[in-house]
Structure 1
């Protein structure tokens, strides 16, 4: 007989996500993904000046601290057909890349690693053997027996105190935990180091963005950074070189530690490689543009269908009609008024709550579709789209990572192993290394352009009478993000944000097609229904950020945590 399990909220993520599953025969047979807050930002923006929108939409989330601002200014610029100066493009690219470095590190270590790492088991580890294990993965200076011994002592003190701090809420001793004690101790040590390296990325982002979270250096038409090298209040060479130093330090951590840890977990949990694929239609945005028109980018975008890399079709520009004309959102299973599927330009956002209905409406998230199909978005999608197009940086980064994983696992596996839970972690680790390289490349491009005497940062926007429509697309850390704006006589007439976690976490549509979260959980093993660790593994592999999908709800009287097995 099937058991019903409700996990509310899914923990160690940003936002409020409820997941319901049915388990039969030790496997998930059905799943529902439900956003539990209403996002009303679209209605707040109506009637406002389009130049102000980016400041409002950044507050959709405190984790995605740059992405909504970038997508918003691009949407207005697309509506006005307004190019931006090259300096502005390159500074924006650095903002994007640095944010990704911080975000990807936090995702793996803070939000996901504890699904695979049994921290308490690390107390049984031998620090000398741990160092020997770590040395087989990389020559990271922190991989010493002395450090591992110190971390073990620190962990012992936490356990003895009964207050595990950041390690408190996890399923220690769960039968699905398979790492040997030495691997667990290594991971705990790297977890603690990751806190410092994500801080370095945050520091770099605060310098270039003026503030973090929620950067202050954007504007419609360019950026607000002062690039005059004779003005000490601006982004001087001294500050630029400090940013470069921080990026280089973070890059080394990503390539020597983060990627090695993901490869090790993938190899040691290789029985998990087949699980969690779900929707194998993929979509990514082109980004990191090197020209003012947004036609030449260092990150590839496009679509893949049915896990077949030969079906890849690229998005070629920042304003690609193939993307714009094929996106719709369905509210058939969401708590909104109506039963439509529309292009975002034609949408409204009118809430109409009922209750949680298995066969009816059960989420505040809409269900985005591309050509009528659900799409998985995120770092894995971008890696696969780039790999399929023969994108040089992507192919090299992916092959290098797969070589490392195969070396640890003793296998000879190719990109076909990436469709699943482990593959999403691999895709994110691969992309983190790419973004570190691109951050430094675009630093060089910016400095070289400044050396020519070009300090231009802004093109003045002009709002004509009548209606203009624009879409701002951006490859955020969690996948393709798009903001859709209709401007009427210089004011916002309609505004919609179609965000990565809505693509992935959205509910079924009017055709009954499940979203990527829901599809990915079906077939997953469940060892102990009362401790559904395996559900967390697969959902966390997407890096959910639910405030980006839903926002603004009076929480009075709502339960904070509910985990039950029926």
Structure 2
């Protein structure tokens, strides 16, 4: 897409360039920059979102048992992640834990969602940034080099040169592009087997699931999973070849989309043998997740304790279109362990929209600025699109060892069994030197393989439950008059938390925080830019086009490496709204007026 361009009016000689909306993502993300073409570098960046929806407003007063059905509609892409996180939150608030097989079924559904969504984004959306047609338009010299460069893993994936890989990614006509579309259909089928409907689950409830657990059910899932495992044995080496080539072909490309390593992962895929959803034991069962929670700063693991992670969350307004709620009612003074809860924590947040004209020197977006407070500073953490944070956190903690996947303290090993045409294969994702565009994309591929391997373990555990006669998938519960709950998981694109307060048996406060507010956040109250903004600022420009034909491919690669999905971060605002009046006519027909 061609940006809107004009000279900056601040006398800097920079060009203002805007991509609004960003294409090949869901939602209304705008990226507004000032580019220094003399230095071939982005000087400034602002991330905007122009719509407000307000789930945290209209959830108040609802029956808490409806929370997962409502919050699933936050997004038409990762709705099941929201439903799952809401169910986790309700489980804590109601004091219920599903039967083991119910939790294995949820894990299998979420694993299928990761496989589906990462596959379709990697090959059919962000992959277009690296296809032959795109590279030919923006870097013809790089394409010439790709034609002459043999693919090191051609024997595994079947493409002789790097240019052949790029051609396979051409939209609609590329061989690999079309194959990935077929795979996405298969992974959707896997999800529906477990949770009834994609992407808004129909069989997912607090206390478990309504899915009927049978050997046939898990066999149907497993047959599709094994085809996906075989597919991954080609995908991982293919992307390693492609991304390694960009480092070799364009010296300095590691700087594209690079920012300080500030990663957050809330953990995913609970182990029902340890997880009882109680807050008091959350530190313990959180570390037993099959994706380990963690906060990584400059490559160091700061904490993998979900209680610490929870208490450190702060919602800053910064440059967003809201009024501050400082001084208003605190819903939660202390957590169930007696720890004080800050007024800027989601449990205590009030959402007060204040629509206004966009002003890059003031307020310019509906996305707030979630931060994590380490005791001295508010860190602008990012998910890196999800997989890089998940793998990095899991690798550093070294707590996962289930045969199919192991975390070593510095890497994650993925063991895929023999499939129809390919032998047993082991991949190892090693902690990279950078958090940049290429490594975010590479991690997405490895996490697909990781999830497939973990799902093999989940199928085995579910089969064991059925063979032992443990087929009850749901546990009874009562809704208390007063309670609080929080749920932590990983949406496809990264961290997802839901926080709920129940009073008089109804929702008094509810705040979902998915990855988009973290990644697309604006400059906060301390002037710190959000991750999209930070990753694009100072990104070098390697595109070979002149200013008149500039596409901004390096900027687009930086942004899309985060897998942006704006529905979770934006909302809709109607002011005082409209009143719809139903008029009954003598014929029995009705019309709408007012």
**Residues in 1 aligned to 2:473 and 2:92: alpha-carbon distance in whole angstroms:** 18
**Does the alignment pair 1:3 with 2:15?**
yes
Distance change >3 Å, CA 333–CA 87, structure 1 → 2: same
Q: Indicate the residue corresponding to 1:263 in structure 2.
A: 240
**Residues in 2 aligned to 1:256 and 1:180: alpha-carbon distance in whole angstroms:** 14
Question: C-alpha displacement at 1:417, in angstroms?
Answer: 2.6
Question: C-alpha displacement at 1:460, in angstroms?
Answer: 1.8
- 1:284-337 deviations in Å (ceiling 9; x for gaps): 1222222241512221111111x223x44213xxxx321221101111211112
| Matched residue SS, 1:23 | strand
Contact 2:320 2:365 in 1 (8 A): yes
Q: Indicate the residue corresponding to 1:286 in structure 2.
A: 267
- 1:488-532 deviations in Å (ceiling 9; x for gaps): 121001111111011111111100111111111112123355311
Q: Indicate the residue corresponding to 2:331 in structure 1.
A: none
Between the two structures, name the one with larger relative contact order (CA 8 Å, sep ≥ 6): 1
Contact 1:109 1:191 in 2 (8 A): yes
Contact 2:61 2:506 in 1 (8 A): yes
**Residues in 2 aligned to 1:88 and 1:510: alpha-carbon distance in whole angstroms:** 43
Q: Indicate the residue corresponding to 1:329 in structure 2.
A: 315
Distance change >3 Å, CA 269–CA 51, structure 1 → 2: same
Contact 2:432 2:439 in 1 (8 A): no
Q: Indicate the residue corresponding to 1:313 in structure 2.
A: 303
Q: Comparing 543-552 with 94-103, which one deviates more in the overlay?
A: 543-552
**Residues in 1 aligned to 2:48 and 2:18: alpha-carbon distance in whole angstroms:** 11
1:429 equivalent among 442, 445, 462: 445
Q: Comparing 323-332 with 522-531, which one deviates more in the overlay?
A: 522-531
Question: C-alpha displacement at 1:82, in angstroms?
Answer: 2.0
Q: Indicate the residue corresponding to 2:348 in structure 1.
A: 346
Contact 1:204 1:243 in 2 (8 A): yes
Which residues of 2 match residues 438-453 of structure 1 at below 5 A? 438-453=454-469
2:476 equivalent among 456, 460, 464: 460
Q: Indicate the residue corresponding to 1:551 in structure 2.
A: 571
Q: Indicate the residue corresponding to 2:391 in structure 1.
A: 383
Q: Comparing 330-339 with 373-382, which one deviates more in the overlay?
A: 330-339
Contact 1:312 1:388 in 2 (8 A): no
Question: C-alpha displacement at 1:463, in angstroms?
Answer: 2.1
Distance change >3 Å, CA 351–CA 451, structure 1 → 2: same
**Residues in 2 aligned to 1:219 and 1:441: alpha-carbon distance in whole angstroms:** 23
**Residues in 2 aligned to 1:277 and 1:121: alpha-carbon distance in whole angstroms:** 20
CA RMSD for the aligned pairs? 2.8
Distance change >3 Å, CA 299–CA 365, structure 1 → 2: same
Higher helix share: 1
Q: Indicate the residue corresponding to 1:277 in structure 2.
A: 258
1:366 equivalent among 347, 365, 368: 368
Contact 1:331 1:339 in 2 (8 A): no
Question: C-alpha displacement at 1:39, in angstroms?
Answer: 2.3
Contact 2:75 2:568 in 1 (8 A): yes
Matched residues, number: 491
**Residues in 1 aligned to 2:444 and 2:369: alpha-carbon distance in whole angstroms:** 24
| Matched residue SS, 2:290 | strand
Structure 1 stretches of 5 or more lacking a match? 146-178, 228-235, 402-412, 556-566
Q: Indicate the residue corresponding to 1:16 in structure 2.
A: 28
- 1:96-119 deviations in Å (ceiling 9; x for gaps): 100000011011112201111123
Question: C-alpha displacement at 1:414, in angstroms?
Answer: 5.8
Q: Indicate the residue corresponding to 1:102 in structure 2.
A: 116
Structure 1 runs of 4+ with >6 Å offset: 120-124
| Matched residue SS, 1:511 | coil
Q: Indicate the residue corresponding to 1:357 in structure 2.
A: 359
Contact 2:156 2:237 in 1 (8 A): no
Contact 2:380 2:530 in 1 (8 A): yes
Q: Indicate the residue corresponding to 1:304 in structure 2.
A: 296
